Chains A and B, each alone.
Chain A
Amino acid sequence: MVRDRLKDYILYLSYLIIAVLFLFPLLWTLSISLKEISEIFSYPPKLLPATFKLDNYTQIINNSKILTFIYNSIKISFFTVVGTLAVTIPGAFAFSRFRFKFKKPILFGLLIFQMMSPLIIAIPLYNYFNMIGLLDTHLGIILVYVAIQIPFTTWLLKGSIDSVPASIDDAARIDGCSNFQLLTRVLIPIILPGISTAIIFNAIQSWAQFIIPFILLDNLNLFPVSLGIYNYQASGEAITIHLTAAASIFATIPTIIMFIVLQRFIVSALTAGAVKG
């Protein structure tokens, strides 16, 4: 009994250590964001801010474009999700329910595209967007975001539709459904959990996307929040440390909230990946 208790305490201790290790850098940034400039540079540094001032936050909200950046990120993520689903739901339906040539090579292609660095496609796209006037536009980067989400989402939704037995299709056809009605009235409602998972992953990945806007955007007003934060940091003067910290926390809050709300989905999606690969 005593030995068991000892093991329990050791486990709790290990949890504490892990929690501290994984939270500390984030909490330190939070601490900086709540301090005044003079406090930030004072030595020795204090873990807790002397006063919990939200001045830095009000400053970035009023004097910088952070709200614009957040709005841009939301807008881009939204249209990316819509565009991705519009393309992949029919596509996954076709892959799952129809037989055609080149299916296997295309699916394999999807796998390669998913594993490829976006940098590889961003370089020629920079050139071509420049020529056709899509450079430095939201439309341009949304198209690329959608392209990036397509491989993973197609696999995901194909898997969802695959797990719906063909007997359901047959029953629907007996009732007189066309392919389109089969998809929209019967299959989509059934695979809503898969679609939700797709939406979550698309949104999280689009929010975090950096390389694509970094290369394809130049106009500050169009920046998503990932680029905006990098911009703060890159402004070079030490004086912006407090603002960078505040902006980082501000930008992370939506992700963390979304994460806490949806963590069960995320965990189950990732662990399912462990089974199927």
Chain B
Amino acid sequence: MKERNFYKYITPLLLMLILFYLFPIVEVFRYSLTNIRLDKEIYSYGVSAYQYVLSNPNFWEMLKITIIFVFSSMFLQLFFGLIIATLIDEGERRNLKGTLVVRLIVLMAWVIPGVIIGVIWNLFLSEANYGILNYFIQLVFNTKISFLSSQDLALYSVIIANVWRGTAFSMIILYGGLKQISEELYEAASIDGASTLDKFFKITIPQLKPVIFINMVLITIYTFNTFDMIMALTGGGPGRSTEVISLNIYNTVFGHLELGRGSVLAVILFFINLSITLFYYNFVISEE
């Protein structure tokens, strides 16, 4: 093969990667080592941005909120995804009708743009007259729940909406995993007299371990990066109770105009993304 020729195939790709990834990433690191602001031309180098961010109690609170959001979402999505995938798989084994429809309905929540999901849940959880969920709660418990206006509850509301959105992804991947498990394992267990629960915990779950693992890693990364849904649902509020790291970055850079400090946060997010990716790469991809 003529080595010279192939450069023209790879150059546009490399150019895009350099211009739109490498260069910006280097720049974000550079900004983080300055006191640059969006409205000032002049800036100087130093670690003041890092000092400010890391010594700010708001930062650690935000990190806590982000971690609660990510790991709650992940566990719940995995849990419900597994339940639904199992129910659908079982239904298919019994030739029940409607399994395809259920799969589609769950998956539909995943293809709706995140912003719109935020808008939909904003309408759904409202305490106003059109807040249908609160209407039912009022009927049964004679009180309304401040899903979105209480600093204590807002984060949970955001988690629920996120789980609603993301369960389909887990469900489909786990469903694929379930389909891969060989029937013979189950038959052998039946012969040995194993109950349904036995089979589930001793065959299904161990066989699904790699898939569950991939799932966990992917969900974690996607959830850390969530911006659109939360922006539309709560905007980070009330107060800063739902201001996860991506919203914090946005507010710092475009609200407070603190480009340097926002870049520090962006660097932190980058390292979070990077470490999870490395984890993923080491344990999953290099197995091939």
> Hey, which bits of chain A sit against chain B, CB under 8 A?
4, 7-8, 11-12, 14-15, 18-19, 21-26, 28-29, 32, 40-45, 47, 86-88, 90-91, 93-95, 97-98, 100, 106, 108-113, 115-121, 123-125, 127-128, 143-144, 146-147, 150, 154, 179, 183, 204, 207-208, 210-211, 214-215, 226-227, 229-230, 233, 238, 241, 244-245, 248, 251-252, 255-256, 258-260, 263, 266-267, 270-277
A sample of 17 inter-chain contacts (CB < 8 A) reads: A11-B91, A15-B99, A22-B164, A26-B109, A87-B16, A91-B10, A94-B9, A117-B227, A123-B253, A123-B262, A124-B28, A179-B6, A230-B231, A241-B130, A244-B119, A252-B116, A256-B112
Asked whether A207 and B113 contact (CB < 8 A) given A112-B274, A245-B123, the answer is: yes
Asked whether A117 and B96 contact (CB < 8 A) given A94-B10, A248-B120, the answer is: no
Mark each residue of chain B from 96 to 118: 1 if its CB lies under 8 Å from any CB of chain A, else 0.
10110111111111011111100
- Chain B: interface residue count, which band? 35 or more
Which residue from A32, A115, A121, A259 sits with its C-beta under 8 Å from B108?
A259
Residue B285 at the chain A interface, CB threshold 8 Å: yes
Complex interface: chain A residues within 8 A of B109 (CB): 22, 26
Nearest Cβ in chain B — how far from A125, in angstroms? Answer: 6
Nearest Cβ in chain A — how far from B236, in angstroms? Answer: 13
The residue of chain B having its C-beta at the shortest distance from the C-beta of A146 within the complex is B16
Residue B153 at the chain A interface, CB threshold 8 Å: no
Mark each residue of chain B from 20 to 31: 1 if its CB lies under 8 Å from any CB of chain A, else 0.
110111011001
Give the docked Cα–Cα distance between A233 and B123 (Å): 10
Which residue from B31, B172, B273 sits with its C-beta under 8 Å from A117?
B273
Which residue from B2, B13, B214 sits with its C-beta under 8 Å from A87?
B13
Which residue from A100, A109, A115, A204 sits with its C-beta under 8 Å from B111?
A204
Nearest Cβ in chain B — how far from A173, in angstroms? Answer: 9
Complex interface: chain B residues within 8 A of A211 (CB): 227-228, 246
The residue of chain B having its C-beta at the shortest distance from the C-beta of A10 within the complex is B87
The residue of chain A having its C-beta at the shortest distance from the C-beta of B225 within the complex is A117
Contact B21 A147, beta carbon cutoff 8 Å:
yes
Contact B124 A28, beta carbon cutoff 8 Å:
yes
The residue of chain B having its C-beta at the shortest distance from the C-beta of A44 within the complex is B135
- Tell me whether chain B's interface is mostly helix, strand or loop, or mixed: helix
Nearest Cβ in chain B — how far from A12, in angstroms? Answer: 7
Asked whether A273 and B228 contact (CB < 8 A) given A29-B123, A120-B24, A251-B113, the answer is: no
Which residue from B20, B176, B270 sits with its C-beta under 8 Å from A125?
B20
Give the docked Cα–Cα distance between A200 and B160 (Å): 28
Contact A226 B129, beta carbon cutoff 8 Å:
no
Give the docked Cα–Cα distance between A229 and B63 (Å): 29
Residue B55 at the chain A interface, CB threshold 8 Å: no
Complex interface: chain A residues within 8 A of B214 (CB): 273-274, 277
Residue B177 at the chain A interface, CB threshold 8 Å: yes
Complex interface: chain A residues within 8 A of B176 (CB): 270-275
Other 18 A-B pairs with CB < 8 A, given A120-B270, A179-B2, A267-B107: A111-B280, A112-B277, A117-B227, A119-B227, A150-B13, A204-B111, A208-B112, A208-B228, A211-B227, A214-B228, A226-B116, A230-B119, A245-B123, A255-B113, A270-B169, A277-B210, A277-B214, A277-B285
Most buried by A among B14, B28, B112, B128: B112
Complex interface: chain A residues within 8 A of B266 (CB): 119-120, 123
Give the docked Cα–Cα distance between A136 and B157 (Å): 34
Complex interface: chain A residues within 8 A of B254 (CB): 215
Contact B102 A143, beta carbon cutoff 8 Å:
no
Nearest Cβ in chain A — how far from B205, in angstroms? Answer: 15
Contact B250 A119, beta carbon cutoff 8 Å:
yes
Contact B128 A41, beta carbon cutoff 8 Å:
yes
Asked whether A100 and B6 contact (CB < 8 A) given A22-B105, A230-B232, A256-B108, the answer is: yes
Mark each residue of chain B from 152 to 168: 1 if its CB lies under 8 Å from any CB of chain A, else 0.
00000000000010000
